[in-house]
C-alpha cells in the first residue's frame, strides 16, 4: 500500500444527526405541552401566568446580553483599581475600571510548555501547519519553550514521519503518540507527565496563537491568577455562510460575553484551547476523560478548589470553524451534552462553596442550571401560542404590556450584542457579516436549542460517543501545496 493510499484510508470519526431523536425531543417538549395547554384552556384555565413567566425568562436573558454588550463597549484596558464602596462596585460591574491587573514590573516569563492535542485522522491535514507556526512564531522565553504534540491515532499515518522530521530539526518539539487513548483528556494528561514548563498552555490542533501570548498570560499568572483564558477568533470565516455566522458568534462569545463576565464577576472558564495554566495547578486538577467537555469540568473543579481564572481578550488565537452542518452539529451537540454533565456534577458544589462570592455563585448558576433550563422554558412559547390559536382561532395582537416589553427587549438584545461584537472584533469583517447575523440570530439560537434537546436525550440514555470535529486544510496551506506542485 502506498503512502497516499494509507493517507486516504485513515478513518475519520463520524456520527449521525439522529433525526428520530430530533422528532422525539420536539414531540415531548413542544407537541405534548401543546395538547396539555389546549386541554387546560378548554377546561377554563387562564394560562397568562405561564406566558408572563416565559416572557420573564426571555427578558432576563436579554438584559444579561445587553449588560455584557455594554461592558464590552465601555471597558478599559486592565489596570490597578483599589477603590472601595458602592460607586466603585458599580463601576467594576460596568467594566469601566478594567480588569484589575496589578501594576508594577512583571518578572521574566518562566519556562513554558505548549501542549497541542490532536486526533490525527481528523486533523492530519493541518497539524504540520500548526506545529510549524508555533515553533516559528511564538516569542520564546529566555528560560525555554517546549512544544508537545499529544496525539492518538488508530493506525500509522505518513504525517507522523513529517512530525518526526520536525522534531529532529527543532529539539524543543516532541511528538507524543498516546497509546490506547480515545480522548483529548487522555492525550493531555499523558503530556503532563513529561511537561517541564512552569506555565502550560493547552491548544487544539487548529489553533494559531498571537506571538506575544506567553508574556500577556504571564502578567496575570505572576499576579495571583492560576489560569488565563485567551480569545478565539475564526480565521476561515470567508469559507461559507456557516463559517461567517460562527465567526460573529465567536466575537459575541469571547469579545463580549466572556470578557464582560470576567470583569463583572472576577471569574471565567477555561475553554479547552488557548488557555494558560500554572503547571502545578493543572497537574493537580488534570482532566476527566469521562466528561464530554473536560475543559469546563476542569474549570469548575479548579474554581471550587480555590484557584482563580481570568479571561483576557487581548490574547488572540485563531482557529478553524466547522465548514459543514454535520461537523457543526457534532461539535455543538458534544458541547451541550458536556455542559449538562458539568451542571449535574457541580451545581450544588458551587452553591455550597465558601470560596466564591455571592456574585460568582449567581454567575455560575446562570452558566449551569439556568443554561440547561433556558431552552426547555423558552420553547414553551410555541405550545402556549399554538394552543391559544387552536382554542380561539386567532392570536390577539393586543396583549399584556409586559409581553410587549419582553418581546421588544429580546429582539433588540441580539442586534445590540452584534454591534458590540463587530466594534470589538479582532478581524475587520465586512459590514454585512454583522447585519446578517443580527437579523438571523434568533433562528441561530433556536437551532442551537434544538441541538440542546438532542444532547439532553443522549445524556438521559447515556449516549456519550465522543466525536472529534473534522478540521479542513487552511486556504493558505492549500496555496502553498499548490505552488509546491
Centroid of chain to Cα 239: 21
210 in Cβ contact with 134 (< 8 Å):
no
Flag whether pLDDT at 382 surpasses 90.
yes
User: What is the DSSP code (8-state) at residue 312?
Assistant: E
The residues pairing with 344 across neighbouring beta strands, listed in sequence order, are: none
- What one-character-per-residue DSSP string does 96-116 give? TT---PPPS--PPP--EEEEE
270 in Cβ contact with 309 (< 8 Å):
yes
- Return the closest-CA partner of residue 287 out of 199, 427, 191: 191
Where helices occur in 366-400 by DSSP H, the ranges are 371-378, 381-392
- Return the closest-CA partner of residue 307 out of 374, 352, 356: 356
User: Which grid coordinates belong to 22?
Assistant: 430530533
CB atoms within 10 A of CB 107: 7
Confidence at residue 462, expressed as pLDDT on a 0 to 100 scale = 84
> Can you point out the beta strands (E) in 96-185?
112-119, 145-152, 173-177
Alpha carbon distance 50, 34 (integer Å): 13
| CA-derived radius of gyration, the chain | 24
Matching residue, cell 510549524: 132
The residues pairing with 228 across neighbouring beta strands, listed in sequence order, are: 276, 310
- If you average pLDDT over every residue of the chain, what do you get? 87
Tell me the domain boundaries of the chain.
1-485
Flag whether pLDDT at 474 surpasses 50.
no
Tell me how far CA of residue 69 lies from CA of 300, 418, 443, 459, in angstroms. 25, 8, 20, 33
Confidence at residue 466, expressed as pLDDT on a 0 to 100 scale = 59
Confidence at residue 21, expressed as pLDDT on a 0 to 100 scale = 87
Tens of pLDDT, residues 255-307: 999 989 998 888 999 999 999 999 999 999 999 999 999 999 999 999 999 99
- Return the closest-CA partner of residue 414 out of 272, 230, 186, 252: 252
Flag whether pLDDT at 13 surpasses 80.
no
Flag whether pLDDT at 188 surpasses 60.
yes
Sequence-distant (6+) residues with CB within 8 A of 164 are 175
Looking at domain 1-485, which of 3.30.830.10, 3.30.2130.10, 3.90.550.10, 1.10.10.10 is its CATH number?
Answer: 3.90.550.10
Residue 141 three-state SS: coil
Flag whether pLDDT at 51 surpasses 60.
yes
- Return the closest-CA partner of residue 142 out of 182, 113, 108, 175: 108
114 in Cβ contact with 203 (< 8 Å):
yes
Tens of pLDDT, residues 106-122: 789 999 999 999 998 88
Amino acid at each position: 500500500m502506498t503512502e497516499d493510499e494509507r493517507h486516504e484510508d485513515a478513518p475519520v470519526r463520524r456520527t449521525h444527526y439522529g433525526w428520530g431523536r430530533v422528532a422525539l425531543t420536539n414531540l415531548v417538549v413542544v407537541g405534548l405541552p401543546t395538547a396539555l395547554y389546549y386541554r387546560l384552556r378548554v377546561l377554563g384555565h387562564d394560562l397568562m401566568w405561564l406566558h408572563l413567566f416565559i416572557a420573564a425568562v426571555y427578558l432576563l436573558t436579554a438584559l444579561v446580553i445587553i449588560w455584557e454588550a455594554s461592558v464590552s463597549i465601555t471597558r478599559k484596558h486592565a489596570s490597578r483599581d483599589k477603590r472601595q464602596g458602592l460607586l466603585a462596585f458599580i463601576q467594576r460591574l460596568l467594566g469601566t475600571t478594567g480588569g484589575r491587573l496589578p501594576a508594577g514590573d512583571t518578572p521574566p516569563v518562566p519556562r513554558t510548555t505548549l501542549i497541542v492535542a490532536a486526533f490525527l485522522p481528523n486533523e492530519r491535514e493541518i497539524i504540520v501547519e500548526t506545529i510549524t507556526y508555533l515553533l516559528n512564531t511564538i516569542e520564546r522565553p529566555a528560560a525555554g519553550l517546549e512544544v508537545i504534540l499529544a496525539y492518538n491515532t488508530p493506525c500509522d499515518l505518513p504525517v507522523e514521519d513529517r512530525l518526526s522530521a520536525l522534531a529532529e530539526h527543532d529539539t524543543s518539539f516532541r511528538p507524543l503518540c498516546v497509546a490506547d487513548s480515545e480522548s483529548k483528556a487522555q492525550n493531555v494528561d499523558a503530556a503532563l507527565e513529561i511537561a517541564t514548563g512552569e506555565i502550560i498552555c493547552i491548544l487544539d490542533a487548529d489553533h494559531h496563537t498571537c506571538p506575544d501570548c506567553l508574556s500577556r498570560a504571564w502578567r496575570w499568572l505572576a499576579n495571583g491568577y492560576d489560569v488565563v483564558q485567551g480569545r478565539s477568533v475564526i480565521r476561515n470565516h470567508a469559507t461559507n455562510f456557516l463559517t461567517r455566522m460562527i465567526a460573529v458568534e465567536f466575537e459575541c462569545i469571547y469579545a463580549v460575553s466572556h470578557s464582560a463576565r470576567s470583569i463583572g464577576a472576577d471569574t471565567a472558564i477555561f475553554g479547552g484551547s488557548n488557555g494558560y495554566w500554572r503547571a502545578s495547578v493543572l497537574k493537580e486538577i488534570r482532566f476527566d476523560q469521562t466528561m464530554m467537555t473536560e475543559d469546563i469540568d476542569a474549570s469548575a473543579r479548579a474554581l471550587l478548589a480555590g484557584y482563580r481564572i481570568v479571561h483576557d481578550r487581548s490574547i488572540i488565537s485563531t482557529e478553524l470553524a466547522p465548514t459543514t452542518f454535520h461537523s457543526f452539529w457534532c461539535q455543538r451537540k458534544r458541547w451541550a451534552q458536556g455542559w449538562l454533565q458539568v451542571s449535574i456534577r457541580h451545581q450544588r458544589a458551587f452553591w455550597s462553596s465558601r470560596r466564591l462570592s455571592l456574585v460568582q455563585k449567581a454567575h455560575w448558576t446562570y452558566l449551569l442550571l439556568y443554561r440547561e433550563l433556558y431552552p426547555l422554558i423558552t420553547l414553551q412559547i410555541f405550545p402556549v401560542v399554538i394552543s391559544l390559536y387552536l382554542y380561539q382561532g386567532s392570536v390577539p395582537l393586543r396583549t399584556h404590556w409586559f409581553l410587549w416589553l419582553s418581546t421588544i427587549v429580546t429582539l433588540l438584545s441580539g442586534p445590540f450584542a452584534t454591534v458590540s461584537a463587530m466594534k470589538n472584533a479582532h478581524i475587520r469583517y465586512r459590514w454585512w457579516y454583522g447585519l446578517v447575523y443580527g437579523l438571523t440570530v434568533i433562528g441561530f439560537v433556536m437551532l442551537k436549542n434544538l441541538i440542546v434537546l438532542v444532547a439532553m436525550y443522549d445524556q438521559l440514555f447515556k449516549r456519550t460517543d465522543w466525536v472529534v470535529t473534522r478540521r479542513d486544510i487552511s486556504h493558505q496551506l492549500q496555496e502553498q501545496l499548490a505552488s509546491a506542485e
